[in-house]
Structure 1
Amino acid sequence: MKLATVSLAALTAVGLASADCSYVAGNYYCSNTNAIVYSNVGYSGSYKDVTSMDESSCICNQASTSFSGSLAPLNEELSVHFRGPIKLSQFGVYYPNAGTSLKKRDVADCAPVSHRHKRDVVVEWVEVTSTVFVDSNGNPVTSAAADMTSSYTKVNTIISSAQNTSPAQQNVDTAATSSSISTAVGSSSQSSTSSSAVGQSSTSSSAAAQSSSSSSTSSSAWTRRSYFTPGSTTNCTFMNHQGGVKGSGVWSSCFGNSISYAAADGITGASSAEALGDVTILSGNEFMIFSGEECSGNDCGYYRDGIPAYHGFGGGDKIFVFEFTMPSDTSGSASNQDMPAIWLLNAKIPRTLQYGDSSCSCWSTGCGEFDLFEILSVGSDKLISHIHDGQGNDGTSTGGGGTQDYFTRPTSGTLKAAVIFNSSDQTAHIVEVSDDFAESLSADTVDSWLAKAGSAAALS
């Protein structure tokens, strides 16, 4: 078991897929992990925010919205999304009490390494960029081309809010060929994924230094503000895409079904909020969780008329917790059959149009998605993580980064995990845990979750 780390502010490819990685159904998979740490998350930029949805013309209007700061734009309100097959046993959101904080991690700088570097260990630092496939003449081809003979990795230098680097310095190739095939970035809301390149380091000591864990500077607890167990919710609102079908939300020929309250089965619509029951959601079906606080006035920005509009989960310091099972489901022919996922979206996206015309949400201009656990091909047992936003690519959705290390899909039994956002050092941790999700979390408990990063590095 090892730690997977992804640096977003200086995204540098340090190797091709090694012999320790496998290429399956269009995606690379490397090592099983129990912790992933994203560092240098957040930048200054802008995205196109929806300002109106005209039912008569079927046109959505947009205006530029600027953001900056640690974890931006993922420090904005987020909604939590689930795709079957999945059974959710627990979900919660914690916020720090007054006086609780996480200190900055001691993270060593990651020096770029040539893709020709000696590859004598398994991936330690996973610096992900685009994979470029070339033929025998060095000309780029698609990954499916019959005459593909090799690949190399394109290096992208991501510009953080603290830097002032010219556009000419933002893209540097590690091979002679200057053209490339961009990573096919896909949203869980867009139902596609990328085959990203993977990097590796020749020393494990640097990875251990880079994975020094965060720890809280106060003994104050983190308070659980939202919580769900089957049949019971506190400050959670379950929704799906059944608007206009059964008592909530709307439907139109322009924009289709809006979001709606979800019934206890998670699949059908409802006229009012209901708690998800003790159910397994089958392939192709999705539901989402917002907070229990309704939008009022313009405090959520623009959203589609007639929908049940609720706030997401905002802030730079927060912890999401999950317990879930992702059983196999090959019984139907639904889209995304047997490809479960859990992901976070900027909450503005589902409140306008999660699926459909790209001008009707801010997704395509980089307002933010964080794939926490996603199966990329039918029946896979490897859960991949990826951040999609505009970091490093001038405000488009093709920035961000991810890792080809993976969590093991829990097809029987459950997986418990915490997702920790730490604004003080611009990190986001995804960590398997075993503790109870009590009404409050002590600083020691959170410290122990963050310390898993260091433990994983020591074992690698």
Structure 2
Amino acid sequence: MRFSLRSSLSTLSVLATLSKQAKSSSCSYVDGNYYCDETSVVVYNNVGFSSSYNDVTAMDESSCSCSTSSTSFSGTLSPFDEELSVHIRGPIQLKQFGVYYPSASTSYKKREVDEEEPCEETITTRKHAHKRDVAVEYVEVTATVYVNANGETITTSITPQTTTTAAGEQNVASPVEHEASAVSSSYTVVSTVLSGTTTAGASSTSTTTSATSTASTVAGAWERVAYYTPGSATNVTFMNHQGGSGSGVWSTCFGNSLSYASSDGKSCASSSTVLDDVTLTSDYEVVMFSADECSGQNGDCGYYREGIPAFHGFGGKYKIFVFEFLMPSDTDGSNSNQDMPAIWLLNAKIPRTEQYGSCSCWESGCGEMDLFEILSAGSNDLISHIHDGQGSGSEDYFQRPTSSSMKAAVIFNGEDGSIHIVEVSDDFGSTLSEDTVNGWLEQTGSTVSL
């Protein structure tokens, strides 16, 4: 989630909003955003397209400038098949978080965390006022190799990458895509056929409707590869923006970098620490990556800011994020985002460079997806948006869970290029059955066609 006003709504987005208004007399306009009907499902269709974005290749502290190069992408879910970081902002209490991939033989190893060490000082992270009426341009994908249910290798090839792990540790089939040499630890999927791509500059219309589900179903169970409950985590690294004291770095040019988050989520730690059973208050943010460390500058994570703890996000066109959370009211304060909780996803390259500034690929459209976001202080209406070259969002809203927790699943379906945000009641076990996931995919509600 970015906190800066970048541009006005595109013409297509305005047309989509007018279309929605015409269909529902219940829509209201609050602080620059439309709110229409309560929903338990938001589905984004036709997500992937082909274009490019400006990838950061260097950050120069002496001149306070960045170097970039153009990175092309294409795919049914691009750019959201790239590695993603997961962000939560208070007031919020996270009860569960998990990531699932289609089942495979690969096992995941829990990364032990060192005992928390106190920070020497606190450095204020730069914040910005936030507006939600923007649509950005451009967006990449790397090669993905899968093995289908019949044991056949299926490849969508653009720019292959290889997973690297620290010496002596178990190889982790993680958030990053694999080369053909890693087929034995790939994920099982039904198909990787590319379809429905939109070339840069092509005309398209984004609309929000309530319709019968036409989502492609998936075959097989899904394996949990990352999981958190308060005080315990497997393959999850917790960070915030307190770099410069304890971990990470700070500079007058680029401010605070990523740092390890302490167990309260509000301050920094010198090593990886698990988040406790805490309620983050307004404006505090925690970022979640995998526990798979980047191999080094310009390695398997590409470029990242020097001196930071750098970890992989969660990549691939077939993945599921699950959450259980509360968003209680918080009126005791005067923060820039007072009583405005949110859960969102970013291209993991953004926080590894400069999340709150111009030195990242965000402005050129490498991808942001707001899953559950309050845009007006004290509101109980959570809405969702996508920010890339096809940026759009739903004017229908989820009810904010202020007193009892809400469970939700976010399903990235590379089969048909859709992303489903679904309120659910199921348990988040070590596996998710085919029937459970297909049941989520078949739920209907608000549909946004990009």
Aligning the two structures, in what range does the TM-score lie when normalised by the shorter sequence? 0.7 to 0.9
Contact 1:213–1:452 (8 Å) recurs in 2: no
Where in structure 2 are there 5+ consecutive unaligned residues? 1-11, 106-132, 136-194
TM-score (norm 1): 0.71
Letter of the aligned partner of 1:452 in structure 2?
A: Q
Counterpart CA distance in 2 for 1:318 and 1:171 is 26
Letter of the aligned partner of 1:354 in structure 2?
A: Q
Counterpart CA distance in 2 for 1:35 and 1:164 is 28
Counterpart CA distance in 2 for 1:249 and 1:305 is 9
How big is the shift at 1:57? 1.1
Q: Please state if 1:433 is matched with 2:437.
A: no
Q: Please state if 1:411 is matched with 2:413.
A: no
What CA deviation, in whole Å up to 9, does each residue of 1:1-38 have, x standing for no partner?
xxxxxxxxx97637252422112232211000000110
Counterpart CA distance in 2 for 1:55 and 1:85 is 34
Q: Which one of 57, 68, 90 corresponds to residue 51 of structure 1?
A: 57
How big is the shift at 1:306? 0.3
Counterpart CA distance in 1 for 2:426 and 2:63 is 52
2:120 match: none
* Other structure's SS at 2:80 match: coil
Contact 1:198–1:404 (8 Å) recurs in 2: no
2:415 match: 424
Where in structure 1 are there 5+ consecutive unaligned residues? 1-9, 100-127, 131-159, 173-196, 392-399
% identical aligned pairs:
65
RMSD, matched Cα: 2.5
Counterpart CA distance in 2 for 1:162 and 1:231 is 42
Counterpart CA distance in 1 for 2:409 and 2:363 is 27
Q: Kindly tell me the number of residue pairs found equivalent between the two proteins.
A: 345
2:318 match: 317
Contact 1:129–1:198 (8 Å) recurs in 2: no
Q: Please state if 1:347 is matched with 2:348.
A: yes
1:229 match: 229
Counterpart CA distance in 2 for 1:69 and 1:230 is 36
Letter of the aligned partner of 1:338 in structure 2?
A: D
* Other structure's SS at 2:295 match: coil
Aligned in 2, Cα 1:16/1:423: closer, same or farther, shift over 3 Å? closer
1:77 match: 83
Counterpart CA distance in 1 for 2:57 and 2:214 is 43
How big is the shift at 1:98? 4.2
Contact 1:266–1:276 (8 Å) recurs in 2: yes
Counterpart CA distance in 2 for 1:20 and 1:227 is 39
* Other structure's SS at 1:288 match: strand
Counterpart CA distance in 2 for 1:304 and 1:74 is 22
Aligned in 2, Cα 1:95/1:264: closer, same or farther, shift over 3 Å? same
* Other structure's SS at 2:394 match: strand
Contact 2:74–2:197 (8 Å) recurs in 1: no
How big is the shift at 1:390? 1.4
Letter of the aligned partner of 2:244 in structure 1?
A: G
Counterpart CA distance in 2 for 1:20 and 1:446 is 32
1:149 match: none
Letter of the aligned partner of 2:216 in structure 1?
A: S
Counterpart CA distance in 2 for 1:273 and 1:369 is 25
How big is the shift at 1:164? 6.3
1:67 match: 73
Q: Which one of 212, 231, 252 corresponds to residue 214 of structure 2?
A: 212
2:334 match: 333
1:16-31, aligned counterparts within 5 Å?
A: 17=21, 18-31=24-37
2:238 match: 238
Contact 1:213–1:453 (8 Å) recurs in 2: no
1:224-303, aligned counterparts within 5 Å?
A: 224-245=224-245, 247-297=246-296, 298-303=299-304
